[in-house]
Chain A
Amino acid sequence: MPRDYSLLGPDAARAVESGLAAADWYHSDVPRKEMKELMTRTDGPAIRDTILLYGVMALCLGFGIWLWPSWVSAPFWLAYGVLYGSASDSRWHECGHGTAFRTPWMNNAVYQIASFMIVRNPVTWRWSHARHHTDTVIVGRDPEIALMRPPAAARVALNIIGLPDALAGWRRMILNASGRLAPEEASFIPESEQPKVIRTARIWVAIYAATILAAIATGSVLPLIAIGLPRLYGAWHHVMTGLLQHGGLADNVTDHRLNSRTVLMNPVSSFIYWNMNYHVEHHMFPMVPYHRLPDLHARIGDDLPPASPSILAAYREMMPALLRQFRHEDYFILRTLPPTARPYRGEFHQPEA
């Protein structure tokens, strides 16, 4: 039977019945003292990275505007676009977990800015992401499955320029600004939080309206190149890295070693992605801040499948699996564990009979 990914469909009901929803997940053993040390929050690394991020964005924006409309401005816009349309994805993610900074207002400030740039309502997506952590790649439960089976090739390709996701975000913004929520949103956002969804959407509409007015008044697309459109022309990096998180791996299992992928990346991609390439580690222990994930990786590496050594290697592993899923949607890559690892256990990846 083909998979039904909707949150209100038959697979969702089956996941609840079979005990796959809100199940107990596998965790590698880490003594409490060590885990406490790994979870400890500090402001320093995220302040450094945020100054670097917004500083480089400001420079690129300045040069881009200064050199506009010459083609010489293009490299500055491309760099600005990736920081706006892709680095905002990882900042949204880390600050949404509240782990990037120790100081709450710093997490919140970067979370709000990043949510606007990536066009994800900060309230809605906090709840959707909580569900993604409860029910990672459980069909019908996880609202954030990027690569469904069989893969929707056109949708994935268009997302490289942000299209379906950003358009959906803007459409949803307009719906929310009109005072309404989509039925799926209402299924996972508690009523007490729903007015916040609407308030944020209205603020965003005001910002976009001001940007569009500025474009009309100046007779130039420049304001939109700076605000809004970078979500499209700068999206490719977060799509490239994001597809690797779970693509081609198992679904409906309760062991992140089976359904998530850790990929070692070059320093620039790691900065843009804020270490989310340590994806198995992040899912297993979401309390560990991004800047300690390499340490966590070193600590539990012998209990995990080997990390893919590069983005290219990870694509070489994932792409053939995706191609096979076009014909056999049940196909997936079963990642092998090192001999030092605790084995995959039936009760962790099969619904109880």
Chain B
Amino acid sequence: MAFLEWRKFHFFDLHPNVDDGKLSELFKENKITTTSSGNNHLVLSDSLGQIYLVSRSWHTSCFRAYEISVDFTQQMTSAPILVTIGQDEPGVNPLIKVWDTSRLDKNGSPYCYRITRALPGNRPVQVSALCVHDNLQLMAVGFIDGSLIIYRGDVTRDRSSKQKVLRTSNSFITGLAFKSTASNVFLFVATEALVVVYNVTQKDKEQKYHLDNIGCAKKCCVLAESMQESHFMIGRDDAVYCYTSDGRGPCYAVDGEKIALEWFRSYLIIISKSTRSTNLTAMPASNENSINQSVVNETNSITVLDIHNKFIVFSTTMPKIKAILNEWGALYILDEANRVYHLDENDLQSKLSLLFKKNLYDIAIRIAKSHQYDSDGLVNIFKQYGDHLCDKSDFSGAIEQYIKTIGKLEPSYVIRKFLDSQHIEKLTMYLQALHKRGQATEDHTTLLLNCYTKLNNSLGQSDNLKEFILSKDGDFSYDIDVAIKVCRQGSPAEALMLSKKHEKHDWYIKIQLEDHRRYAEVLDYIANLKFEEAEHYMRKFGTVLVENAPHESTRLLKKLCTDYKPAGAECGPLTGNFDVTVRADPEEFIHLFLSNSERLIEFLEHLMGEGSVLSRPVYNTLLEHYLHVWSNSENVSDKNKLSQKILKLMQNPDVDYDKSQALVVCHMNSFKDGICILVFNGRFGHQEPTLWVQALWSCVRNKTNPSMDLLNEILTVIAKEKLFSPQLVVDAIGTGNANVTLGHIRSYITNELQQERKKTKEIAELTANYRRDTDKLKELLGKLKEDVVEIRGSRCAACHHTLELPKIHFLCEHSFHQHCFQSFSDDENECPTCQPENKDLLELLKAREHNKDLHETFHSHLEKAPDGFSVVAEYLSRGVFNRYKIIADEALQKTLEMAPERNNNVKREPATELATYGAGAEARLRQSEVKSKPRAAPVSEGRMRTQEHRYSHSLEANMEYWKPKSVAKSAVKSNPFQGGGVSCTNPFGEEDYDEAKNPFNDGEDEDEDSDRNNPFREDLRPF
């Protein structure tokens, strides 16, 4: 009945005859009365008073302990001490003897420490139980009348021992057991009728607690000590009852009349009378000879109960059992015929494989755990279990097992099994667990989120994903970026949640923008961010935002550039850093408005309204966009309003804008008023005379309201500055639409005409003078050439004395004494009197020559001069640009050609030193090279090479200065050697200049100084 309820396994093997029959040989005549084991031997006692010590190799040594019989023995496990009770004399006269089995006397018998008579009171009573505490300080002897003697003190010493007699009951004491706890020592006593426990911690204060009213037979009690809570167990027919010192504990219903109980590791071994004859067949086959045993027909059953896991791990029937011996870590069973069996526990692996065979994985796990199986092994079991459950289609059970393998088993193993869509829920569970353990990779996150999405779609379980996303950071560990990416495809709402939660602003904004086109939300979101972030994201996504939500974006940008505070934190009381208002630089955002001038204007106007001082480019932009809007607007009143604004802006002295750029823009948009303002502000008057002309144009074209004052002013300036020939002015006014009458310009014209006339007169006079002078000089020259020159001078021009021979005459009609001349003059070819004058003249010429390369002066002259052309003309007349272009060309060409060849033989000659800069210098060198090739070529080349980079610099500079295209072209085309240094290629050929007029083309007389005239010099850094 109840017996059958236990789960049964076969974890033990029974090996018969392990002693080769040695013991049965030994006990042929005599009967074994009591057994014990410990301290590396088995102790068997016989009815003749002899004790046998059996070694592991079944070697026995025997000694006589008592004259008549040995009734009880207890071998201490941890000491070589054997305590025995037996009879030396006939009658009831039990004697306790304590032996040292490690000390043998000359007869080979152990040393006997003490002999004590065991008498409860004065009556001789038969002993029924013996128990010695492991500490060797306590010993209890039970008697058949229920009396109990407790001996305190060293068990090996007679004298120090104190004994106390207690009476438990009137019933036969069947078992005794000491149990020590941290602070107490208990003595459990089982009698045939009841169970009691004594607290024997203190001498003479033994306390008795009644535990139960049922008792047990001899040998049918045991102290189970290896569990967390040790129990004193008694075996009764219906069950094994357990006790703690507090009372009853559990109870195991194991049927059968008990013969003996034994405790081994964590197993309870129950020997009971076998009631069922059918069980005989279950006997191990090796025991067949036991059936032949006709002596006793009775068989015993042996049951090994795993108390911890609550199942029977071994049970069999076998011939009557005499004793169970627990030594050497093994269990030996001695039957009535003195045969020894070894009850051998299988190792864990074979237990497990047995369980696996039966697919009892849960039990395998339990067993493995109770054996402290290593985690790798356990994981292996979990895996097998999972596999098994999978085969049985119990997928949720399988997942439960697989989850336990996380961390050891490769997740892909499991995932592959569950990839089928019908298992998606289980797969989700597994992946969740994976994340909880922090073992998930990116792929797992992706998969999990996809699972969620799928579950969402098919089952409407949208909570999972939300839960996952909203879980605390510690709960799941995963790569947020991956999660967002995955969610973005399947469940965008979650992706948003996720990115918001983890402050992945980038993602949030991107998803909102790209997937949902929710621009307003994005702007709200950004408005909630910290300044730096808000600025960053506005810069990053501003273009799209402005394009799609111009008004809202502009509002946000305005805030950013004035006084930004995160929207959420606005009302926060702890604005400790309110004085440190950070502002974004508006310039950063201007480009966002490229195609939305209105908003840009709004934006910038707001900023100006806020009193921000903007940078020059910002103002420029504003102006530009104003004009853009202005020119695009159709509505006249709008246009007017706008133009007012523009003009206001341009006239605002605080507004620092680039006037020239403004001018260009005004031009582009034909915003005449603006041009006028720029001109009138006088800032351009002298710099940009053409402005006046333009002002004139705009003035006369303005049909609606020609301002006469304006016109007059313009005309005055034009007149004063000689900007425009009067004829053209009249032309302009004539072609203009404005209602300008002759009267309006009358004064101008008269003025002009008078001036013109005056000038003409002056020039005419001058011309006449020059002509006269020229005529005189011609005459003189003619005379000198053709006429005879009379040298009439009678006095020496030096000493003013009358001339005497020898004398020297000059054509200038000065005569000298030879000695005077010699002492006066430095040069015998020159007249010393005329020499200072000549010298002055020459110097003047030289100075002029010199002046022409003072470029700063040239430029400033040019700038200052009311008539630039005359300045240029004058400079040209000095030969400023003599052959310049040819030279430059050559230089460039040279540079280009030289660049590729790398030659390191750099040689310098001091002579060339002075001319080592500028393209002109180079040209000069080329010239000399052509003239005297053998000498100059290597020198110049070497120098050139060293300065290659410098020339390329100059090239760049030149290209900037001049029209780069043509320079480059000409440079490539022209050959430096062509025409002996005189290039005929004119880079400006296609320009406005006429070839004939080209000032660069007509300088034939190259001299050493020509390089100094190089107008590029200021672009070349001298070294």
Pairing of A with B: no
